[in-house]
């Protein structure tokens, strides 16, 4: 079966709540790449290949040539932020990319100015800004966002869009009764209920307009029942949550390796220092709690301690994030991993990852935008588990556990692409190549 996929004609608007480090880095990359100044390193949609059929067929087209993705040249951008800096000013302040990256595209960056944001200080206590919407209630603010989107799409000549959350991590609040149904949530919007998060207002506005939503932070947003009911009602795809970038990326690479070799784990201590706005926000305990829950969930799912109690039933796992302003966006992540092997002999692994989360996140933003647009044109809606590859806390259907093993996630993603294009799925069994298996 091959799906009837709507063509990627015309311009695709990318709406972005949060126009700071990640967004300015993402845009700086896209504009540089449009000019042919840099290659899209880190982007699977732009640089990745996909094997089709048997190995003897030697068919491995680039993914962007295999599935009908929108191109970078079709993308337009608009968004919201509590600060008024245009993207050129934001890129300079973030200091992720260097002057020789942003000066050749200064004009393009300066034209993108953030619209006034929906922001409640109780949800992000360590920062504040002047560029904030006012409204009589949450529903009024959602309607203002919808007006922003309609106007921006008309101005740029876009007939479809995607929204991707790049704003700060919100304080940790578990979903409550207002998140159980769409009716209850819409009443909470009108009643100005304090448990409605800003990110949920953005998601509601996007999905009401039939615009796919991607959650790049650990907030409870599109993983609440009310928002998923809206996605199902309007047949819109959703994905999330929390970009898998630095330290957690390493865990999803190394963790499966330990389990594959049946090596035991005694403890995994992770700490980070970073000095960007993300670090400032996470310096508040309530906001750090959202990130901690996201980061701690990875190892248990990969290692399955309930099945492998002798190896992983009693390991100690600790995560720390420390705000250190001099470091800026150049985060340093340390991992001390105590493992054991044959005869219970102890061994250690040390990782010192000097990374830049925004550099790692930018190609992920591009890929998820293009893939969720493909999903929408294919007729997929609701949770897009096949995009788990990109997230720390992948969303799954109720009753399922998320798959965190990055190699399984990659197989899931590529097999989904093969499936929608009517190609055979790749199992890697390989028995067809050997005579003794053919009978």
Classify each residue of 345-375 as buried b or exposed e, where b means 16 or more C-beta atoms within 10 Å of its C-beta: eeeeeeeeeebbbbbbbbbbbbbbbbbbbbb
Quote the CA–CA distance of 258 and 251 in Å, as a whole number. Answer: 10
Judged against a pLDDT cut of 80, whether residue 287 lies above it is answered with: no
Quote the CA–CA distance of 369 and 376 in Å, as a whole number. Answer: 11
C-alpha distances in Å from residue 195, one per residue of 138, 165, 208, 215, 317: 11, 19, 20, 18, 30
Over residues 1-26, mean pLDDT: 95
C-alpha distances in Å from residue 311, one per residue of 264, 274, 314: 4, 33, 8
Q: What is the pLDDT of residue 290?
A: 67
Ordered domains of the chain (ranges, CATH): 11-243+359-420 (3.40.50.720), 247-356 (3.30.360.10)
C-alpha distances in Å from residue 179, one per residue of 141, 287, 397: 18, 20, 16
Quote the CA–CA distance of 416 and 410 in Å, as a whole number. Answer: 10
Over residues 132-149, mean pLDDT: 98
Summarize pLDDT for 154-209 with one digit per residue, the tens: 999 999 999 999 998 899 999 999 999 999 999 999 999 999 999 999 999 999 99
Over residues 407-428, mean pLDDT: 96
Quote the CA–CA distance of 276 and 354 in Å, as a whole number. Answer: 14
Q: How confident is the model at residue 295 (pLDDT cuts 50, 70, 90)?
A: low
Contact 73, 12 (CB under 8 A): no
Instruction: Report which secondary-structure segment, H or E, holds 418.
Output: helix 406-420
Summarize pLDDT for 308-342 with one digit per residue, the tens: 999 999 999 999 888 888 888 788 999 999 999 99
Quote the CA–CA distance of 358 and 367 in Å, as a whole number. Answer: 14
Q: Give the mean pLDDT of the chain.
A: 94
Quote the CA–CA distance of 312 and 74 in Å, as a whole number. Answer: 48
Q: What is the pLDDT of residue 44?
A: 98
Judged against a pLDDT cut of 80, whether residue 439 lies above it is answered with: no
Q: What is the pLDDT of residue 82?
A: 96
Q: What is the pLDDT of residue 93?
A: 92
Which stretch of 149-153, 217-221, 282-286 has the lowest confidence by average pLDDT? 282-286
Torsion, Cα of 228, 229, 232, 234 (10° steps):
-110
What letter does residue 336 receive in the DSSP assignment? E
Identify the CA nearest to 141 among candidates 74, 200, 64, 228.
200
Quote the CA–CA distance of 63 and 144 in Å, as a whole number. Answer: 37
C-alpha distances in Å from residue 55, one per residue of 61, 276, 296, 415, 431: 13, 46, 38, 15, 12
Quote the CA–CA distance of 10 and 157 in Å, as a whole number. Answer: 8
What letter does residue 112 receive in the DSSP assignment? -
Q: How confident is the model at residue 137 (pLDDT cuts 50, 70, 90)?
A: very high
Contact 169, 287 (CB under 8 A): yes
Contact 246, 397 (CB under 8 A): no
């Amino acid at each position: 079966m091959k799906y009837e996929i709507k063509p990627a004609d015309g311009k695709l608007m990318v709406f972005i709540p949060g126009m700071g480090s990640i967004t300015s880095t993402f845009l700086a990359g896209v504009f540089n790449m449009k000019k042919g100044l840099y290659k899209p390193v880190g982007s699977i949609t732009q640089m990745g290949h996909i094997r089709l059929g048997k190995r003897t067929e030697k068919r491995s087209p680039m993914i962007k040539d295999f599935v009908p993705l929108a191109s970078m040249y079709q993308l337009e951008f608009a968004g919201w932020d509590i600060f008024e800096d245009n993207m050129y000013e934001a890129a300079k302040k973030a200091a992720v990319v260097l002057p020789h990256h942003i000066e050749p595209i200064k004009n393009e960056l300066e034209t993108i100015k953030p619209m006034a944001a929906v922001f409640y200080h109780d949800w992000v206590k360590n920062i504040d800004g002047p560029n904030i919407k006012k409204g009589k209630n949450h529903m009024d603010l959602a309607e203002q966002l919808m007006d922003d989107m309609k106007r921006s799409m008309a101005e740029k000549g876009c007939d479809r869009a995607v929204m991707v959350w790049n704003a700060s991590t919100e304080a940790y609040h578990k979903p409550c009764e207002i998140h159980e149904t769409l009716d209850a949530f819409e009443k909470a919007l009108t009643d100005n209920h304090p448990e409605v998060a800003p990110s949920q207002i953005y998601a509601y506005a996007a999905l009401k307009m039939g615009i796919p939503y991607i959650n790049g932070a650990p907030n409870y947003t599109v993983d609440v029942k009310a928002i998923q009911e809206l996605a199902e009602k309007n047949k819109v795809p959703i994905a999330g949550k929390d970009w898998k970038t630095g330290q957690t990326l390493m865990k999803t690479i190394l963790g499966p390796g330990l389990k594959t070799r049946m090596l035991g784990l005694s403890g995994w201590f992770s700490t980070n220092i970073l000095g960007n706005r993300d670090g400032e926000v996470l310096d508040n305990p309530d906001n750090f709690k959202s990130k901690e829950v996201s980061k701690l969930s990875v190892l248990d799912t990969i290692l399955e301690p309930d099945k492998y109690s002798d190896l992983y039933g009693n390991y100690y796992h600790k995560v720390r994030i420390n705000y250190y302003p001099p470091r800026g966006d150049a985060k340093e992540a340390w991992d001390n991993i105590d493992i054991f092997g044959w005869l219970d002999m102890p061994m250690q692994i040390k990782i010192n990852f000097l990374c830049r989360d925004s550099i790692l996140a930018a190609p992920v933003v591009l890929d998820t935008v293009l893939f969720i647009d493909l999903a929408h044109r294919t007729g997929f809606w609701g949770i897009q588990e096949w995009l788990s590859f990109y997230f720390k806390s992948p969303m799954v259907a109720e009753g399922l556990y998320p798959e965190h093993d990055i190699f399984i996630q990659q197989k899931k993603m590529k097999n989904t692409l093969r499936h929608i294009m009517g190609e055979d799925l790749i199992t890697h069994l390989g028995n067809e190549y050997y005579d003794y298996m053919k009978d």
